[in-house]
Amino acid sequence: MSLASTDTMKAGPSMLARLFARQELALLLCLILVIAFFSFTAENFFSVRNMTNVLGQASLALTAGIGCAIVFISGEVDISIGSLLATIALPLIIIMNDTNSLLLGVGGALLFGLIIGVVNGYLTAYAGINSLIVTLGTMFIMRGGVYLYTGQRAIPDDAALDSFIALSDGRLFNVVPYSAVIAIVLLVVFAYMMQHRPFGRQIYAVGGNPEVARLAGYDVRRVKFICFVISALLATVAGIILAARVGSAQHTAGLNFEFQVVAATVLGGVSLAGGIGSLTGMALGVLILQFLSNGLRGLGLPTEWQLVITGMIIIAAVAFDEAKRRRIVGG
């Protein structure tokens, strides 16, 4: 068995822990610099209202990014999450309008998300189809299905339940948006799982090298299958929050959202090759891009230039990721 085939396993938990710590410190310093720069250059940037608004805006990418990062760490990819945001709004809004029940609406949305996760996970882990192709296919199927069902018209939230509207407008202590609170709680729970629970270690092992993980007694297919289910369910939670925010089911909801999440995940140090990365790093990546976008808007920079700058950052992050991976493999 070659040295390259055992790169992550031989790196060991302590080496990976040190790598994550250095990487997260660098990302934290980058975030502080971004905030400091725009605090002096963009009017009203460094205010409690703007800071909490950015947290609320980042909550969707943060929530869905948890699942996206977990799939990446397992050595796979999921680009269906943007279309899933739009699709789950249909059962959510329709059921709430028919039953006047938030519980039933959320239940219907989660059930649909679970089905998509099972489909993506089964086709990838058990049928052996490349995950990029699988999730690209489900992305197009869901987006096209939403266009066909809605006729490209929004389906309004006629129930207008206070508890549902609170997901968008409500704030803890009248300061922190509930959507941000949900995202933070989910981040803490899954970060703990990834770093301190056996299943989290299995995900890293499978992403580092599936064959070595199999020889170590891990059920590689089962681990990857569960990762896709987790990703779909977390994207569903983000979709529920988005539907509350826009007050309807819309065919354009979540358009290009998957690329925003992937960009933040890669910027946060999650390796495209699998086996390397942390949810804390992903969260910092989300915040860096969100504060950067907010600050650039505050400076009046056109959207086109915001995209150019974001693209440059993504390319730099991927180049750094590749250099880091080669360094680990090289010993």
Cα(21)–Cα(65) distance, rounded to whole angstroms?
19
Tell me, yes or no, whether 33 lies in a domain.
no
Domain membership flag for residue 19: no
**pLDDT (average), residues 106-132:** 97
Q: Per the domain annotation, does 78 fall within a domain?
A: yes
Average pLDDT of every residue of the chain: 89
Amino acid at site 11: A
Give me the number of domains the chain comprises: 1
For 200-239, what is each residue's pLDDT tens digit?
Answer: 999 999 999 999 999 999 999 999 999 999 999 999 999 9
Model confidence band, residue 6 (pLDDT cutoffs 50, 70, 90)? very low
Q: Who has greater pLDDT, 264 or 3? A: 264
In a domain, 180, yes or no: yes
Residue 31: inside a domain, yes or no? no
DSSP-assigned beta bridge partners for residue 249: 155
pTM given for the model: 0.90
State whether residue 177 is helix, strand or coil. strand
CA neighbours closer than 13 Å in the CB half-sphere of residue 83 = 18
* pLDDT, position 18: 59
Q: Is residue 15 part of a domain?
A: no
Structural domain that includes position 232: 45-330
Which residue is associated with the tokens 């066909």? 148
* DSSP summary character for residue 299: T
Residue 7 belongs to a domain: no
Residue 48 in this model has a pLDDT that exceeds 60: yes
C-alpha 322: how far from its chain's center?
A: 21
pLDDT band at 303 (very low <50, low <70, confident <90, very high): confident
CATH number at residue 193: 1.10.3470
Q: What is the pLDDT of residue 4?
A: 39
Q: What is the pLDDT of residues 30-45, one digit of tens each?
A: 999 999 999 999 888 9
| Residue 36 falls inside a structural domain | no
Identify whether the C-beta of residue 285 lies closer than 8 Å to the C-beta of residue 278. Answer: no
What's the pLDDT tens digit per position in 258-278? 988 998 999 898 988 888 889
- What's the average model confidence in pLDDT over 107-123? 98
